[in-house]
């Protein structure tokens, strides 16, 4: 492939658990070129991102803590650029706005954005006619689980979601659990109508209540990566859908697909399922 056809990619959060996987995946993709790696962890500032990601060869790209100058680098390429963001809920909103302001397409895995923030970003992307992808979960297994859950919701009126993650996770509930509950809520029914008066002897014992009565429970433990159960109940039966990750490589086909697809968009799109 001729050099000018390569998609320039900036990875934000490059030294993190997901960022390192993205560095490996992008550097091995024949239609992409890594132009910058950003991370605010001072331990990695100036270090070669290939070495930090565990590649056998350096990529000759030092990690910087300066996002905007790195976005500018991506604007100097002949192809439209993409920023992949796996950082932190506290910074992702500003990162997305900065990328759009520079005409760089955001592909965002970072969770924890509020509904109001997503709405605001959608308007911003719309006005700039710039594609932006927000994907709470890049694994195909989760897309399939969510599809099955939506189908099951036609037949079950009771459902609870349990999400289980490593204990370094900043936000709860997970973005995936929130999205799953939204999908079930959009089916236009109210779930979990109670037949008895419940008392929580310890606040939170019954989890949090999302739209349409759907309950979400969050577990955080070392030893976990990312897992989700959607449990449907009806008299005499339980239907359980479960997804487990054992390696963050599971997200990479979805991330690469999103990088390719975001270039064709002119507005904000939420969810990997919209790309399949
Ligand atoms: N959509 C999906 O499929 C998935 C989404 N995620 C989400 O992605 C996000 C990142 O997850 P994960 O990789 O596990 O987290 P990590 O903490 O391992 O990595 C995040 C990295 O970003 C850095 N960082 C934090 N703030 C900034 C900033 N302002 N600018 C630049 N870098 C910053 C962190 O530095 P420091 O350590 O110093 O804070 C860290 O190196 C989370 O929101 C998580 O929920 C995770 C897996 C899959
Ligand atoms: O923090 C994580 O690890 C994950 N976060 C995303 C979420 O909040 O849904 C996706 C996946 O669950 C892994």
Beta bridge partners, 161, equal 216, 230
| 116 has a pLDDT exceeding 60 | yes
The CA distances from residue 53 to 1, 121, 155, 183, 198, in Å, are 25, 30, 46, 35, 49
Give the active site residue among 47, 88, 158, 169.
Answer: 169
Cα–ligand 1 centroid distance for 103 (angstroms): 23
Q: Tell me the C-alpha distance between 96 and 57, whole Å.
A: 30
Cβ within 8 Å of residue 210, ≥6 positions away: 173, 178, 181, 182, 185, 216
Phi/psi of residue 114, nearest 5 degrees: -80, 165
Phi/psi of residue 55, nearest 5 degrees: -75, 155
Mean pLDDT of the residues in the chain: 96
Beta-sheet strands, E only, within 112-249: 132-134, 158-165, 208-209, 215-220, 226-234, 237-244
Report the pLDDT averaged over residues 121-129: 98
The answer to whether 165 is a known catalytic residue is: yes
Atom of ligand 2 nearest to the CA of 165: 3
Q: Is the CB of 17 under 6 A from ligand 1?
A: yes
pLDDT in tens, 189-219: 999 998 899 999 999 999 999 999 999 999 9
Cβ within 8 Å of residue 158, ≥6 positions away: 191, 192, 232, 233, 234
pLDDT in tens, 32-52: 999 999 999 999 999 999 999
The answer to whether 169 is a known catalytic residue is: yes
Q: Is the CB of 33 under 6 A from ligand 2?
A: no
- In this structure, which CATH number among 3.30.930.10, 1.10.8.60, 3.30.1950.10, 3.40.50.720 belongs to the domain 3-137+248-275? 3.40.50.720
The ligand placed nearest to the CA atom of residue 93 is 1
**Tokens, residue 71:** 């976005």
Q: Indicate the pLDDT class of residue 4, thresholds 50, 70 and 90.
A: low
Report the pLDDT value the prediction gives residue 9, as an integer from 0 to 100.
98
Instruction: Name the CATH superfamily for 140-244.
Output: Dihydrodipicolinate Reductase; domain 2 (3.30.360.10)
Report the pLDDT averaged over residues 1-10: 77
Cα–ligand 1 centroid distance for 18 (angstroms): 7
Length of the chain: 276
Give the active site residue among 165, 217, 243, 261.
Answer: 165
Q: Which of 8, 23, 11, 10 is nearest to 54 (CA)?
A: 23
pLDDT in tens, 51-96: 999 999 999 999 999 999 999 999 999 899 999 999 999 999 999 9
Report the pLDDT averaged over residues 244-252: 98
Q: Indicate the pLDDT class of residue 5, thresholds 50, 70 and 90.
A: confident
Parse the chain into domains and list their residue ranges.
3-137+248-275, 140-244
Q: Is the CB of 109 under 6 A from ligand 1?
A: yes
Q: Is the CB of 112 under 6 A from ligand 2?
A: no
Report the pLDDT value the prediction gives residue 248, as an integer from 0 to 100.
98
Helices (H), 76-196: 92-101, 115-127, 140-152, 175-185
Cα–ligand 1 centroid distance for 213 (angstroms): 30
| 3 has a pLDDT exceeding 90 | no
The CA distances from residue 148 to 28, 78, 135, 213, in Å, are 33, 42, 19, 19
Cβ within 8 Å of residue 152, ≥6 positions away: 159, 230, 232, 239, 241
Report the pLDDT averaged over residues 126-135: 98
Report the pLDDT averaged over residues 112-123: 97
Cα–ligand 2 centroid distance for 53 (angstroms): 20
Q: Enter the DSSP assignment of 162.
A: E
**Do 45 and 18 form a contact (C-beta atoms < 8 A)?**
no
ipTM for this prediction: 0.99
Q: Is the CB of 146 under 6 A from ligand 2?
A: no
Report the pLDDT value the prediction gives residue 2, as an integer from 0 to 100.
47
Report the pLDDT averaged over residues 161-166: 98
Q: Tell me the C-alpha distance between 153 and 170, whole Å.
A: 30
**Do 105 and 125 form a contact (C-beta atoms < 8 A)?**
no
């Amino acid at each position: 492939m001729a050099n000018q056809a390569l998609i320039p990619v900036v990875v934000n959060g490059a030294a993190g658990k997901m960022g390192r996987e993205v560095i490996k995946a992008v550097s091995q993709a024949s239609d992409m070129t890594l132009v910058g790696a950003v991370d605010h962890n001072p331990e990695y500032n100036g270090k070669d991102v290939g070495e930090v990601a565990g590649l056998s060869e350096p990529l000759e790209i030092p990690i910087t803590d300066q996002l905007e100058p790195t976005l500018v680098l991506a604007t100097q390429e002949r192809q439209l650029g993409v920023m992949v963001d796996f950082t932190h809920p506290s910074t992702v909103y500003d990162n997305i706005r900065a990328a759009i302001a520079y005409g760089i397409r955001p592909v965002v895995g970072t969770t924890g954005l509020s509904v109001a923030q997503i709405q605001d970003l959608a308007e911003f992307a719309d006005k700039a006619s710039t594609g932006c992808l927000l994907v709470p979960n890049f694994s195909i297994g989760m897309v399939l689980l969510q599809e099955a859950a939506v189908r099951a919701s036609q037949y079950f009126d009771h459902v609870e979601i349990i999400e289980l993650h490593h204990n370094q996770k900043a936000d709860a509930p997970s973005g995936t659990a929130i999205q799953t509950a939204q999908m079930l809520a959009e089916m236009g029914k109210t779930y979990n109508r109670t037949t008895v008066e419940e008392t929580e002897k310890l606040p939170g014992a019954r989890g949090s209540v999302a739209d349409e009565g759907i309950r979400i429970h969050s577990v955080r433990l070392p030893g976990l990566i990312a897992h989700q159960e959607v449990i449907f109940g009806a008299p005499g039966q339980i239907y359980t859908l479960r997804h487990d990750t054992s390696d963050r490589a599971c997200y990479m086909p979805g991330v690469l697909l999103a990088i390719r697809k975001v270039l064709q968009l002119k507005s904000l799109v939420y969810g990997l399922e919209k790309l399949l």
